[in-house]
Structure formats: C-alpha cells, structure tokens
Amino acid sequence: MNQTGTLKVDSLAPSHSMPPNSESMKLNIMARIRPDLERIEAEINRLLTSSVPLISIVGRHIMSSGGKRLRPLLMILSARLCGYRGNHDASLAVVFEFLHAATLLHDDVVDHAEFRRNQPAANTIWGNPAVVLVGDFLYAKSILMTVGYSNVRILEVLMEATTRMAEGEVLQLVHKDNLEIDELEYLDVIDRKTAGLISAACQVGALLGGVEKEEEMALRDFGHHLGIAFQLIDDTLDYTGDVKELGKPVGNDVQEGKATLPLIFALRNGSAREKKRVMEIFSSERIPHGVFMELKELVTRSGGIEYTRRLATEHVEKAKAALALFPANGARQILEDIAEYVIHRRV
C-alpha cells in the first residue's frame, strides 16, 4: 500500500474559485483522489476472494459496475483529516464498499431490477437465490474483515449503521405504493437506508485517526448531512437525469412504487386536480414513457424538484459547517468539494 496519496492531496491547490460545472468539478476532485481510488480498487481486488468461484464472479460483477466508491473514499479522507498516517485505511475502507454492494444485490432482488449502471442486474444473470446468498457472504465477510482490527468501537459504529440500514430497507418496503408517507417519515427512511452507512464511514475514519469525541461527532454529522443530500439529489435525478448517464431508465422510483420527496412535495402542494392526476399515474401498474413525462412536468411545476434540491443544498451547507473545527488542509478541502459536487452531479 502506498501513502503517496497524502502528499499529492496536500500539494494541490484548493479549488475555492471553481465554477459549479458538474464535469469540471468532477475532474478537479478526481485529480486529487486518484491515488486513493487506486488503493481502494487494489484492496477490493485483493479482498474479493472466496474458495467458492461463484462468489468471486457475482462479487466482481457488482463491484465493477461503475460504483463511485464514495463510502471508502470518505472513510480514507476522514481518517487523513484526523491525522491517521498508517496503512490500514484502504482495507478497512473496502468494508464499506462490500456492505454497500451487499445491499445493492439484495435491493435488486427486492425491486426486481433489470439494470444497474448500464449493465444487466446480477439477479437477471444468476437468479435471485445466488444474488441473495452472495449478498449474505459480502455482509459476513466485510464484518469479519472489520473484526480483524480488534477495535470494538469501530465494530459498534459499523453494526449500528448496518442494523439501522436493514430497518430502513424494511421501512422503504412497507411504504411501497404508499402515497400517504409524509416528508418526515421519508427523511427517516433515507437517513437509515443511505445516510447511516455514509455517516458511519466518516465516523470510523475519525476513530481510526484516534481523535476526541467532538471531532468524531463532527465527522459523523458531516457524513449524515452529506448522505441525506446525496439521496435527495438521487431522487431528483430519477426525474431529471439523463438515461445514458444514469445507466438506468428515469422514472425508476415511481415504476417501483417509491414515492420520493419530489413527488411527496407535489402531492402536498399541487392543485386538487394535479394531485388527483399524480395519484392516478403513481398507482397505475406500468407507466409508459409519455405518461412519466407528464408526471415529471406535474412534479416540476409543483416545485417538488426545486424544493428537494434546496433541501439537499441546506444539508450540504450543514455538512461543510460540521468540518469547521478541523484545520483547513487538503483533506478537508476535498471533503468540502465532494459535498459541493453532490449537489451538482448529474450521475
């Protein structure tokens, strides 16, 4: 494992003056995190082994489908911000990608997904049974990997997040086809389902750095707000995104019976006629493209997209504010830039 990532990161100029252009933001961040991403990829390849070939095959499929490696990256950067200079960060970081991959595999079974990131979903290739069981393996393996660090506090944070995540997944299922869900209930679901693991990745980075409780909680908060913003932008992209860029059809959430914040807002704020039409469309068995475009128009006109983006922006501001107690170094700058990029990303 090389440690050059640290030097390169700190030697790069900060990017305060960058215009909020999605592609240039991304390239700017990528230039600084490339060494870390390479270490993460190397560790994924090293650790994704099993004496059972099918596990490696399905594991590599889900791992190589263009994931952003957001969680391991946040853990590594958080550890660095907290002064960690050892060489165990990448292997511990991979735990978060394995756990995330396990939930993606089970999600695809739950949602009967056909595609993920421009590739056939694993369940369409190997069937539900294999995908459920390989997901179980990735859960178990990632926790076994963490046990190797003999740090009970890290295990506690990880398992609390994993347990809440499982509850969030069940909650989301319970709310399937439910148009009565309100904003607070919805935010609770995405807090458990998405923000929890991202928050845990940042907190574990802090624990690896061995900082005081205040810094640990600050990074936990950073991850929480970043995670909420990340999911809210995901929700808007399901309406406004580009099919090719997303690697899956837009309107996926409504097709799967998931009422996300843009739609919840439209149902709360549209006219009576608009609400009625939104409910009609949402409740229909299969939504043709043209009808989805009508729904998108209704949701947009209600202000649902704008509201969701504004809420996401507020969470990004809170995330950045949580970092204020850290010295303004390269690691902090990248974390802030990643938080900012979450709002401007198109994928």
Name the β-bridge partners of 116.
Answer: 119
Which residues lie closer than 8 Å to 30 by C-beta, 6 or more apart?
A: 37
Q: Measured from the CB atom, is 192 or 309 closer to its own copies?
A: 192
Note whether 122 binds its own copies by CB under 8 A. no
Per the document, the length of the chain is 347
Kindly tell me which residue out of 96, 137, 230, 265 binds its own copies, with binding defined by CB under 8 A: 137
User: Residue 156, interface with its own copies (CB under 8 A)?
Assistant: yes
Report 243-262 residues binding its own copies (CB under 8 A): none
> Among residues 42, 166, 217, 347, which is the contact residue for its own copies, using CB under 8 A?
166
Decide: is 203 part of the binding site for its own copies (CB under 8 A).
no
What span, in angstroms and rounded, lies between the C-alpha atoms of 201 and 223? 7
Binding mask 37-56 for its own copies (x = CB under 8 A): -------------xxx-xx-
Q: Is 280 in the site for its own copies (CB under 8 A)?
A: no
150 contributes a contact to its own copies by CB under 8 A: yes
Q: Is 217 in the site for its own copies (CB under 8 A)?
A: no
d(CA 332, CA 313): 18
Q: How many CB atoms lie within 10 A of CB 111?
A: 20
The HSE-up count of residue 170 (CA atoms within 13 Å, CB side) is: 6
CB 303 within 8 A of CB 269: yes
Q: Is 155 among the residues that bind its own copies (CB under 8 A)?
A: yes
| Minimum CB distance to its own copies smaller for 188 or for 314 | 188
Position among 96, 139, 265, 326 found at the interface with its own copies (CB under 8 A): 139
| Contact of 22 with 344, CB cutoff 8 Å | yes
The residues that bridge with 120 in the sheet, in sequence order, are 115
Q: Per rule CB under 8 A, is residue 133 in the interface with its own copies?
A: yes
One of 14, 28, 42, 169 touching its own copies (CB under 8 A): 169
128 binds its own copies (CB under 8 A): yes
Considering only 110, 229, 264, 266, the residue that binds its own copies (CB under 8 A) is 110
Is the Cβ of residue 32 or residue 193 nearer to its own copies in the bound state? 193
- Looking at 1-9, 125-133, 235-243, 302-310, which segment touches its own copies (CB under 8 A)? 125-133
For position 130 contacting its own copies by CB under 8 A, the verdict is: yes
* C-alpha to C-alpha distances, 113 to 56, 105, 252, 293, 297, nearest whole angstrom: 21, 10, 9, 21, 25
Q: Which residue pairs, CB below 8 angstroms and at least 24 apart, start in 275-281?
A: 279/179, 281/254
C-alpha–C-alpha distance, residues 159 and 167, integer Å = 12
> Does the protein bind its own copies through residue 193 (CB under 8 A)?
no
3-state secondary structure of 38: helix
- Cβ of residue 223: shortest distance to its own copies, in angstroms? 19
SS (H, E, C) 222-247: HHHHHHHHHHHHHHHHHHHCCHHHHC
Closest CA to 75 of 59, 60, 95: 95
| Residues making contact with its own copies (CB under 8 A) | 50-52, 54-55, 106, 109-111, 128-130, 132-134, 136-137, 139-141, 143-144, 147-148, 150, 152, 155-156, 159-160, 162-163, 165-167, 169-171, 173-174
